[in-house]
Homo-oligomer: A and B are copies of this chain.
């Protein structure tokens, strides 16, 4: 039976999440009032706070769904990466970037990032940070894979390199969402340029 209470809970949770993410897209994060979200979800304001600790939490929940998808898509690239270091990085990173604005606006990203920095203890911020770590691990895994294949010189700390590449792409993405007119194309070009020296240097001679 799954229990009436459990079903109602799951349903309310879904309604609240849907109401919030659609409102955020429609009117922006700041203009979306809890009262409006609650009304659209057909619950009271108090109930909203029973499901989410605060307004920021529900935005981070929305963003998390998006990152989860990107991670999934990244898996297959890591399993079967292009032959060269430069290309492999470019394909994986551009995949991240290209998905980033499908469901979320720059404003939503900015707010989610701000929250995850400011309240690092809240459960949803932890989840967001965890996703970041998994992205970082994915880049590191790609580097290790390439090293195993002999494309990257042995003796290099592939994990350290992967972390650096990730931190760089993450900072660049932060700057990108802070700059409303900045384009995805420019972002991808800049990051590719930054990765080039490193990619060349760590590649094994053939």
A interface residues, Cβ below 8 angstroms from B: 110-111, 113-118, 120, 129, 156-157, 160-161, 163-165, 167-168, 170-172, 174, 177-179, 193-198, 201-202
User: Which residues of B are found within 8 Å of A178, using beta-carbon distances?
Assistant: 116-117, 120, 129
A-B contact pairs, 11 of them (CB 8 A): A110-B118, A116-B178, A117-B178, A157-B193, A157-B196, A157-B197, A164-B164, A167-B167, A167-B170, A167-B172, A167-B194
User: Which residues of B are found within 8 Å of A129, using beta-carbon distances?
Assistant: 178
User: Which residues of B are found within 8 Å of A174, using beta-carbon distances?
Assistant: 117
User: Which residues of B are found within 8 Å of A202, using beta-carbon distances?
Assistant: 197, 201
User: Which residues of B are found within 8 Å of A164, using beta-carbon distances?
Assistant: 164-165, 168, 194-195, 198
- Quick check: B197 and A160 within 8 Å, CB to CB? yes
A156 to B179, CA, bound (A): 29
> Nearest-CB distance from A161 to chain B (Å)?
5
Output the nearest chain B residue to A125 by Cβ-Cβ distance: B178
Output the nearest chain B residue to A175 by Cβ-Cβ distance: B129
User: Which residues of B are found within 8 Å of A161, using beta-carbon distances?
Assistant: 197-198
* Sample of 9 more A-B contacts, CB < 8 Å, known A111-B118, A113-B117: A113-B114, A116-B178, A117-B174, A117-B177, A117-B178, A157-B196, A167-B167, A167-B194, A198-B198
- Quick check: A114 and B120 within 8 Å, CB to CB? no
Output the nearest chain B residue to A201 by Cβ-Cβ distance: B201
User: Which residues of B are found within 8 Å of A170, using beta-carbon distances?
Assistant: 167, 171
User: Which residues of B are found within 8 Å of A168, using beta-carbon distances?
Assistant: 163-164, 167-168, 171
